[in-house]
Structure 1
Amino acid sequence: MSSSGGQRATHIVDVLSAEFGASMAIDPAAFRRRLRKMAASPFAFYRGSAALFYADQLGDFADDRFLDERTGRVWIHGDLHAENFGTYMNASGQLVFNVNVNVNDFDEAYVGPFTWDLRRLPASVALLGYGKALSDTAIGELVAGFARSYLTELRAIAAGGDDAIGSITLDNADGVLRRVLQQARLNTRVDLLAAQTTIDNAADLDWSDVNEPEELTGVLVDLGRAVARMHSVADDESSHDLVDYSTEEAIVAAVDGDEPGFVNHLVDFAHAYGVRARQDHQLFVDLFRNGRLPGI
């Protein structure tokens, strides 16, 4: 292992130990099972090591472009990767497709730079695309489509207010997401007991069923719309005052002066961090199999 590889391996151990050390000490066997799942692929490692990603956003990959006192303080998902999208029943009893909203998927949410969500998702797309043997050009086009869709949706919300925030439903979905919603409707069992509604077997987006760039392009466009809506709902028109301004207006103002630069920024980051995550995965596997992760 090179000196730089050794330094990175030590960094991985330090970050994972700081994040998971207490849980490892409580139940080492359970954590070994989790780590074996992370060892399965670069994407699985990336999904399970959000702490390492965010350490890099403050370290090697720190970048404050498009950030100011407002766009640096947006309610973000905190772990926005490609497998955190699926269907659920909204308050009106309508089946919708969106960012997953159960407690396990929002346990990383906090107020921070909006670009961190927009970097984490495209990097996960780069890893998925690599696993499907897509070219760098194809992966870049997918990320660019996501970024442009995000901005288009955000501008529409900024112009129309919160009334313009819609949902992806069976009434307006097509392609892959329509199939996901149709499957969810088939799988869903609604029981009305004592005025309670129980939803079983909603459907997540299964990336193993989506492999060709033509289909993937439509999915990434829809994910851009979903993320824009997520970033728009928790601001000055919501029930709290932690973010007391219009996030959509702030982000549009920060980006509109250089949309091509913003799109290229996300494309370049997706490629660069995809490479980093693949290298980190190999380092992690070697650390784990050789007993170099403390407490495991």
Structure 2
Amino acid sequence: MAIVKNIVGLIAAIAVTAATMGVAVAAQGQAEPWQFGFQDAFSPVAHEMHAFHNLLLVIITAISLFVLALLIYVVVRFNRKANPNPSKTSHNTLIEFVWTVVPVLILIGIAIPSFSLLYYGDKVEKADMTIKAIGYQWYWGYEYTDHEGLAFDAVMLEEDQLKEGQPRLLATDNTIVLPVDTNIRLLVTAEDVLHAWAMPAFGVKIDAVPGRINETWMRIEKEGMYYGQCSELCGARHGFMPIMVKAVSKEDYAKWLVKAKEEFAGIAPATTVASAASVTQ
């Protein structure tokens, strides 16, 4: 009995710890310990993706239950004991018509919101600002194209460089600072091999292709720190290309721009080594 109580107590302690960690981490826009499902959405595109996923979940659940019911019916109704003399029927026009047309109609019903979502996330009609992300082996470079000369690299911090509260394998030396409630055009390319700029909280995952510029957009809804990673297998250090975005108010963003232009003045991408920690505070 004591063993059972100890096990229950241990499980409860683990659950409380995981829940506490989850709340703390979720506010930073990254995955939670023991997470089930998507990260919370903080962009219109991410909200639409979650809604589409929930719609598909309903559809596939209904299909799975229907198929399961048919299988149970067949097993019960047509097993050797219940049906010793099986029918010799080999063709049924109505059934074949139904099992051909119904799946087609289901796919059409799925395709309509799917294409709508693809179009919605593809390009912003009116961008308030533009930022360009460039994939290198193995880090990201960023250019604020609306502000000439404002560019820097973001390299992952090693464990001995992390400050309190910074997540391992996700924090970078320089932070992308973006304003909330702003339509942000994101241009993505690569210098060497294929990369992919992925930020789950914003519903963004776009390939970075050498010699090509891909485009998407986002509108961050809440201030905070958000984390993503390269999601294309790009080489030996693929797992060490994190993305760190700090979302701030428009007023704080304007102040950051003034300091950032001084901090990164004359520093070209792929050569930046200075940390932006003092700029982002």
Measured against the shorter chain, the TM-score band is under 0.3
Query: As a proportion of its length, which structure holds more helix?
Result: 1
Structure of higher RCO (CA pairs closer than 8 Å, 6+ residues apart): 1
Structure with greater proportional strand content: 2
